[in-house]
Every structure is written in C-alpha cells, then in structure tokens.
Amino acid sequence: METRTALVTGAAQGLGQEFAVALAGRGYRVAGLDLVPQPETAGKILDYVELTADVTDETQVRRGLERVIDRFGTLHVVVNSADIQPATPFEETSVEEWRRIMRVNLEAPFLVTRAALPYLKAAGRGRVVNIASAAVLTAPPTMVPYVASKMGLIGFTRSLATALAPYDITVNAIATGLVRDRQAVPRAQTPSDLISTLLYVVDEGSGFLTGQTLNVSGGSAFI
C-alpha cells in the first residue's frame, strides 16, 4: 500500500502539532505549515517537512506545497487547523481586525485547499479536514468575527464536499470546544481529545463521510 502524505497547517504548537504527530504515528509522512519554525514538532516526527510560511499568502502556500511534492511525490490529506481566536467587544472590533480574522480562519483554508487540489486529484483520492468551532452554536458575544469566520468555514466545507465528491475527495469539519493546554482545569478540552476524530475522518474506510461537521466539544459550555 502506498504511504500516505498529509499537510497540517498551524503545526508549530497546540492542536496542529498534535494532529501532525498523530498522523505520523498512523504511518503518514507529514508536512507542517506555520508562520513560525516548528522545531518541537519536527523533533517528534521522523519524516517531516517543515514549511515556514504565511497561510494567507497564496505564493508562499503554493511554494510550500511544491516542496512537499518534491520531497514526498504525492499528497492525500490536508488539515486546515491554523486559526486565530481574538476576543473583542463587537463595537471595538476594527475593520482591520475583522479582515485579519477572516483571512486566517476562512480565506487561508480556501487558499491551501485550492493549491493542494491538483495533488489530491492526482493521488486518486483525498481527505480535507477543516477545524471549525462549537462557538458557532454557543455564540460568545466577544467573538463575533471569529464565530462568523467559523460559520463560513462550515459552509465552505459543505459546498466543497459536493464539488469534490466526483474525485473521491471528502471534505469534513471538526468543531472543537475551547482547546486548552494540559495544565488547564479538569474537563477542559485538550488537543489529544480530538485525535481519534481526526483519524476517523481521514481513514480509508470513511470515504462515504463528507460535507459533515462533527461537533466534538465534550458537551461543555466552552467554545
């Protein structure tokens, strides 16, 4: 069986790092893309391509994917996990801040997925996973642009799934709760709580699961 290759954005730390390590543990060759270097992630993965790039820069994203193909020859999975989560009262949210949130949380998955699409098609099948948020249900009042961006990502997921179904490429979203580090209070969600869901979504046997948003928030009130 051909060794699968995955690209994970936001891989320097937190959720993206956990996803990258988990995929490597499942036998994937992994490339991580982040705005900053990823020495900690690279130290945990034997066969790793570290891409330091801005997910909102089309040229940097395209060049990063070319490096992945040069190294691994193919691409099967894209995990769009890079995001920003600022909390600001709506009336204090500037136009610049609104646009920055939309660019990172919504436009970047579009840019990364569009750049990866020719390689996913060439591989004969693929998985795109977008990291959304349960905040679209709880609607915290200080995160209006964040909620709007994640709701947009869910719509992007559903429509793109229909567009890519003929190519055996699935597109799904995972809506997380508030992801905290391991020193946080008990029952707060940690990145490791989401690994089994990610592995299920990208599994070879999940080819009939597409266009869905899996809400994995622990039944809590956290966003």
Is the pLDDT assigned to residue 27 strictly greater than 60? yes
Tokens representing residue 102 in the block? 């939309």
pLDDT at 223: 39
Q: What is the pLDDT of residue 177?
A: 84
Q: H or E element: which one contains 155?
A: helix 144-164
**Is 174 within 8 Å of 201 (Cβ atoms)?**
yes
- What does the pLDDT average to over 98-108? 98
pLDDT at residue 5 is higher than 50: yes
pTM: 0.92
Percent of the chain at pLDDT > 70 equals: 92
Q: Which of 28, 48, 119, 146 is catalytic?
A: 146
Mean per-residue pLDDT, 153-168: 98
**pLDDT tens for each residue of 45-90:** 999 999 999 999 999 999 999 999 999 999 999 999 999 998 999 9
- pLDDT, residue 183, reads 42
Percent of the chain exceeding pLDDT 90 equals: 85
Q: Say whether pLDDT at 219 is over 80.
A: no
Residue 36's pLDDT band (cuts 50, 70, 90): very high
Comparison of pLDDT for 161 and 137, the residue scoring more: 161
Q: Is 32 helix (H, G, I), strand (E, B) or coil?
A: strand
**CB proximity list for 2: less than 8 A, separation 6 or greater:** 74
Whose CA is closest to 53, among 99, 101, 112, 106? 112
What's the pLDDT band for 190 if we cut at 50, 70, 90? Answer: confident
Q: Quick one: CA torsion of 182, 193, 148, 112, rounded to 10 degrees?
A: 100
Q: What is the pLDDT of residue 185?
A: 42
Active site residue 146: yes
